[in-house]
Amino acid sequence: MELAVYKITGDKTTKKVELIDSIFAIKPNDNAIYMDVKQFMANNRQGTHSTKERNAVAGSRRKIKRQKGTGTARAGDIKSPIFRGGGRAFGPHPRDYNFKLNKKLKKIARKSALTYKAKDNNILILEDFDFDSHKTKNYIEFLNNFNLADSKTLLILTETKENIYLSSRNIKKTKITRASSINTYDILNANSLLISESSLKEIEELFA
């Protein structure tokens, strides 16, 4: 697939780039995408949830009423889960949700995500650029040039450029990442991928 290269003003340049079929036109593997996104979201969980079971609740162990003759169900101490203020039965405790996936599967998942974006014509190639100052209006003007101000966008660069990052920081629907750090979740979560020329070469080196 051949795409034109754009300036940040929204104008086409005379340059064109070819998207490699082995990255942007493979047969998508939906299961690989599912597993990679699942791992990404699981690794972001804090896992700090905690509850007190009956052994951790303060209270007397005295039997609160006689076993028979009350006309109600038998009951033990006040810390029983069936009573208000009692312990939690089988409640959650701190745990680590992380799990591992092999590199080959993760690579297939990311190629599949890039393929979906390419099929939907949601990839835009940009000339390498930087801003003179870190002002939010710079980034908003840049998005307006492509009518993307109301869309979720992911800008992929070879390295973090401070002026671009600081200019985009206050805009909710935009994210900036390095080519070496792209993941399946961010690719699919964005409506449009904005890829700089140099970062496209890096993506090709990483996944080819």
Looking at the DSSP bridge assignments, the partners of residue 124 are 194
In a shared domain, residues 112 and 141? yes
Q: Whole-model pTM?
A: 0.83
Among 95, 98, 79, 76, which residue's Cα sits nearest to residue 87? 79
d(CA 195, CA 204): 12
Question: Looking at the structure, do residues 89 and 103 belong to the same domain, yes or no?
Answer: no
- The whole-angstrom distance between residue 138's C-alpha and the CA centroid of its chain comes to 25
How many whole angstroms separate alpha carbon 156 and alpha carbon 118?
A: 15
Which residue type occupies 23?
I
CA dist., res. 114 & res. 123, Å (int): 9
169 pLDDT band, cuts 50/70/90, is very high
pLDDT band at 160 (very low <50, low <70, confident <90, very high): confident
pLDDT at residue 67 above 90? yes
Q: Could you tell me the CA-to-CA distances from 72 to 66, 67, 80, 83, 126 in Å, in that order?
A: 10, 9, 15, 14, 75
Same domain, 109 and 80: no
**Which domain CATH number covers 195?**
3.40.1370.10
If asked whether residues 86 and 9 sit together in one domain, one would say: no
Radius of gyration of the chain (CA): 27
Same domain, 105 and 163: yes
176 and 123 in a common domain = yes
Residues 64, 26 share a domain: no
pLDDT at residue number 1: 81
Residue 100 has what pLDDT? 93
Which run of H or of E encompasses 164?
helix 162-168
Question: What is the extent of the structural domain holding 164?
Answer: 2-45+97-207
Together in a domain, 101 and 198? yes
3-state secondary structure (DSSP) of residue 192: strand
Domain identity same for 20 and 114: yes
